[in-house]
Structure 1
């Protein structure tokens, strides 16, 4: 049988076709517009998502036996606000995860309602990108639109609705709305009251691997697929990517060295750190996860190479770097402020420790090490909750650098494993579809069968000790610089 994974991204929808054994049969990508109606705003039209998804599915399955397609599921951009009226028409363009208009609403939630209450209700505090502040913004600035709301959904859930006619979401994506009681895996009535909505306006919440319905007759006819094709709830992009890398079960970790960086830790136990430095979300495997997000990861190296040095040959700039753990130059990687663990939008990047004999290679090394040290900051928070890790998967553009992988392994003192497939959320979506269709009994079972490691980088005791000393110095720099950022 075949399974379709749909990764609804910010710039494009990426579709993947997987067979029962986990082999990738085909991949298709289709772009759609992004709108910036005011500085700092970011919107998209849900109809654009759906149109390109349908065209993408048609292209994806054109050369296979359509009768063999059994299931569809999703990974999707998180936090976006999609609102429908009583006739299921989209009321206004979706407000996306990277939209920055909700500063006042976020401050109201954190400082007037209070972080302690938010954490008690949802296991998280408010961020400008989350969904609840967006709802409050619509309530405050577009009251006529707010009055028309019959259903509140997330981006990928609009596609699921258009395919099945079911208003649905999943626990992992719902966790990022600030409307969801993560510990008890249900909507928070207290948060609904705060936002002036009813629980009934929110979509029904499923586990990520549960089928929400089957294809509507008109959709199955259009695509040439059986009306019995199951559609599973799917997951937020980070949770779906974690499924795709096998980061499921207890005490498993995945590090993403993309434009931004994430430390994703799956856990059977629910946990919230004292300062809400990490996001505490429900996971797509039926358990929980902690996630640290840094806003600039591989983008730090891109900035340093492209804008400062003026080169595209990243490997050549890394070649002279030999003495790991002995660099006296440090770099704070906060080019766009920082989320985890500092939650400080005013933080900025800093080089410190240069002398007359500092070289370009020292500076390049400091950038790579600074990102690794910042990832460790999030790992230290997880350790404070009793989580013990021995290894981590790694993915993203930065993971293509052998040097950077070695630095990460030794700064974090973890075995670093590179998975065979880098398809992330779309692969995770296809795997969730296979579980929903009964091909596999659980998410953990399919991950064990499908995810293969092709490279391993082991930490070295001598280097680990050197980097431990450097990290203890690094973590004192941000507190010292913090007053200067104001």
Structure 2
């Protein structure tokens, strides 16, 4: 038997074929573009996602018995606003998770409606990337499009709809819309009223492992799959990645170094961050989690290497960094290339190099990029620790986790061991695991994770390096407050 996992990312969809033992039989990736209509804006055409999935699945199954595919599960980029009209046609391009256009709407929600009120309704405050502020922006700026909305969906849910004809979502992904009462796992009527939408415009809610339907006859034929293939609700990318890395059940932590960076802390019980810097969301295992999210992580390294240095040989660039310079770099980098979410909630924040000298070598800037992202991840960890959460170890996933140097830097910046799972395909693997649960191969998500997820290797911190990075972090964390006013002034001139 096989299960297909869909990782609907920001730059590409990655399709994964998992066999019944948890082994990966094949992986296929299809890229698609991101549009930046204005500075700080970020959009995609949902048709590009669907074309990539439709083109990729037959390629994924080439040489395999498609009749053995039993289920499909997706992990997808969160928060994106996909709006459909009465004919289920896409009304406008999807406004993505890292889009920063909604500052006016965020300020209205946080300052006029009030953070305490929002937290009571949804367990969270407003952030620029969340879906509800996008709806308000659409109502304010594109009223004709807003009036046409028949269904409001999230990116991976649009793919599931195209596969099954069902408008559904799961609790983990819905948690990031600022429309869900996370504690009680239902749509917040108060938030719907605030945003001027009806519950009928929202998808049906499911647990991540629950089946939402089977393939439509036309899609099954087009993809070369049996019509009885089960499609489960799936999960937001970070929840799916946590499942794929074994961060299931309370007291676990998973860190992702993908396009964005996240710290994902699991809990069996509902809880809220009193500082409003971490998100309080439902988890794909039926429990809950706290999550800190930095908007630019591995994307910072991609920007630095490809756009500035004009190379895609990341390993060669990192090989130029002397070992004795770890913990001793006097160049600092703020990784806020798309603004920042956790813990600053500041769409106006920008990237910055600080500490350059005439003799600063190229390698020092490369190192600063890696360290700046690690320091931003630590910001999220420090918020969790201030809430009494103890993080003594973590699993690690995402494209950035492939770098041994970056793993070493992060382990020492955080002062904890970081473990790579044997299967380094977080969201896609998690999606396939959820599909296996949906098909009855395992009784629940925890049993599936215990059976399939294995550790590959662990990077341990070094006490001397930890001390050096503690001192560097103390300097780095003062830079954003010093530049915050300047960032706002820059934004006002755009």
Query: TM-score, normalized by length of structure 2?
Result: 0.89
- Report matched runs for 1:170-209 at 5 Å: 170-209=170-209
Distance 2:108 2:385 in 1: 31
SS of residue paired to 1:390: coil
- Report matched runs for 1:51-450 at 5 Å: 51-302=51-302, 312=313, 313-318=316-321, 320-322=322-324, 324-352=326-354, 364-450=366-452
Distance 2:328 2:50 in 1: 52
Q: Select between 265-274 and 97-106 the one with higher mean Cα deviation.
A: 97-106
Q: CA deviation at 1:23?
A: 0.8
Distance 1:300 1:52 in 2: 25
Q: CA deviation at 1:136?
A: 1.8
C-alpha deviations, 1:306-346, integer Å up to 9, x for none? Answer: 6777775313321x231544555544333443221112233
- Report matched runs for 1:9-88 at 5 Å: 9-35=9-35, 40-88=40-88
Distance 1:38 1:481 in 2: 23
Question: Which residue number corresponds to residue 491 of structure 2?
Answer: none
Question: Which residue number corresponds to residue 482 of structure 1?
Answer: 484
C-alpha deviations, 1:346-375, integer Å up to 9, x for none? Answer: 334455567788766655544433332221
C-alpha deviations, 1:69-122, integer Å up to 9, x for none? Answer: 111111112212222333433333333333343333223222222222222211
Q: CA deviation at 1:227?
A: 2.7
Mark the runs of 5 or more structure 2 residues left unpaired by the alignment: 489-494
Distance 1:388 1:406 in 2: 21
* Equivalent residues of 1:255, 1:395 under 8 A apart: yes
Give RMSD over aligned pairs: 2.7
C-alpha deviations, 1:40-69, integer Å up to 9, x for none? Answer: 544444344334323322232242222211
Q: CA deviation at 1:381?
A: 0.9
Q: CA deviation at 1:212?
A: 1.0
Distance 1:310 1:225 in 2: 42
Distance 2:301 2:51 in 1: 36
Distance 1:183 1:168 in 2: 19
Distance 2:14 2:151 in 1: 26
Q: CA deviation at 1:37?
A: 5.3
* Equivalent residues of 1:175, 1:182 under 8 A apart: yes
SS of residue paired to 1:3: strand
> Structure 1 90/78 Cα, relative in aligned 2: closer, same or farther at 3 Å?
same
Distance 2:299 2:56 in 1: 29
Distance 2:49 2:317 in 1: 35
Q: CA deviation at 1:274?
A: 2.2
C-alpha deviations, 1:232-253, integer Å up to 9, x for none? Answer: 0001112112222222222222
> Structure 1 109/70 Cα, relative in aligned 2: closer, same or farther at 3 Å?
same
Distance 1:142 1:460 in 2: 54
> Structure 1 327/12 Cα, relative in aligned 2: closer, same or farther at 3 Å?
closer
> Structure 1 306/317 Cα, relative in aligned 2: closer, same or farther at 3 Å?
farther
> Structure 1 153/369 Cα, relative in aligned 2: closer, same or farther at 3 Å?
closer
* Equivalent residues of 1:254, 1:394 under 8 A apart: yes
Distance 1:16 1:307 in 2: 29
* Number of aligned residue pairs: 485
> Structure 1 358/82 Cα, relative in aligned 2: closer, same or farther at 3 Å?
closer
SS of residue paired to 1:194: helix
> Structure 1 158/358 Cα, relative in aligned 2: closer, same or farther at 3 Å?
closer
Query: TM-score, normalized by length of structure 1?
Result: 0.90
* Equivalent residues of 1:256, 1:396 under 8 A apart: yes
